[in-house]
Amino acid sequence: MRELVTAALAAAKERGQDVADVPLTAIAAAAGISRSTLLRRLGGSRAALDEAVREAGVDPGGRPPVRERAIAAAAVLVAERGLGEVTLDAVADRADCSLPSLHTVFEGRDGLFAAVFERHSALPDLEALADDPPERLEDVVRALHAVFVAAFAHEPRIVPAVFADLLGRPDGPAARVMAVNLPRALDSLDRLLLPHVRAGRLRPLPTSVLVQLLLGPLLNHVLMRPVLEVVPGAGLPSMEETVEIFADAYLRAVALPAAESGGGAAAPRG
């Protein structure tokens, strides 16, 4: 079977196709045998060949790529078990791929977690918002709160799992995931907030402080909300009302009154 795998991979490379998309006649030609001989050696079906290619650490194709299957499988496992309990072996089993293919695609467990977080966190929506921001500060702040609320509510619940691990183990996998993705998030937040600092609408605080004031109260609320929702008489507002409440509180804390808005102040990075 090894020589057939080699022939299949060579034919796929030559044609620029996945192994599953290469005709058996082309694989047979690469192996120097007839199609009927190839089928006889495969037991009448190419399924055995695809499985042998997969065992060699290569996805034969004909279905979503390993990267997509692994991200989907890991996301479900993280939501079910938390970051600390998810192994590459479990992901490979759930995604129906080989362990070597995961190492090849993601360069390890941290790379896989970073890809999962990028896919299911606020990062894509945050970057889209920074590319086309609202003009008014009030609309920017409300949009930011809405983006982060949506990220926490998104299924599978990756963002809560990441923050739970981060709070429980500051040196765990969540901290490494954040280290990979945080620069992009801060760049988007800079582009959204610093123009209003320079225009004198926001207090000239370091970006990190502006972000902590923005997310700290909201983070506390969304992490506690599942507990409070089952408490009789908790009187929780809807999520839409919650966005308005925290956005207004943030603006009262850091927005400059018109009389103080002299413009031109720049916030230090931090």
pLDDT tens digits, residue range 92-119?
Answer: 999 888 888 888 888 889 999 999 998 9
DSSP track, 91-149: HHHHHT--HHHHHHHHSSHHHHHHHHHHHHSSHHHHHHHHHS--SSHHHHHHHHHHHHH
**pLDDT, tens digit, for every residue of 152-180?**
888 898 988 888 888 888 888 889 888 88
- Please state, in angstroms and rounded to a whole number, the distance separating the CA atoms of residues 105 and 186: 26
Tell me the one-letter amino acid at 208: S
Half-sphere exposure of 135 toward its Cβ, with a 13 Å CA cutoff? 0
Q: Which residues of the chain have pLDDT under 50?
A: 259-270
The span from the CA of 185 to the CA of 181, in Å, is 7
d(Cα 97, Cα 66) in Å, to the nearest integer?
7
In terms of pTM, does the model score above 0.85?
A: no
- Name the nearest CA neighbour of 78 among 2, 154, 1, 179: 154
pLDDT value for 23: 83
Q: What is the pLDDT of residue 62?
A: 64
* Sign of the four-CA dihedral 67, 68, 73, 78: positive
CA-CA distance, 51 to 59, in Å (whole number)? 9
Query: Measured on CA atoms in the order 206, 208, 214, 216, is the torsion positive or negative?
Result: negative
User: Between 47-55 and 2-15, two packed helices, what is the crossing angle to 10 degrees?
Assistant: 90
Judged on CB neighbours under 10 Å (0-12, 13-18, 19+), 155 is exposed
SS3 241: helix
pLDDT for 269 equals 45
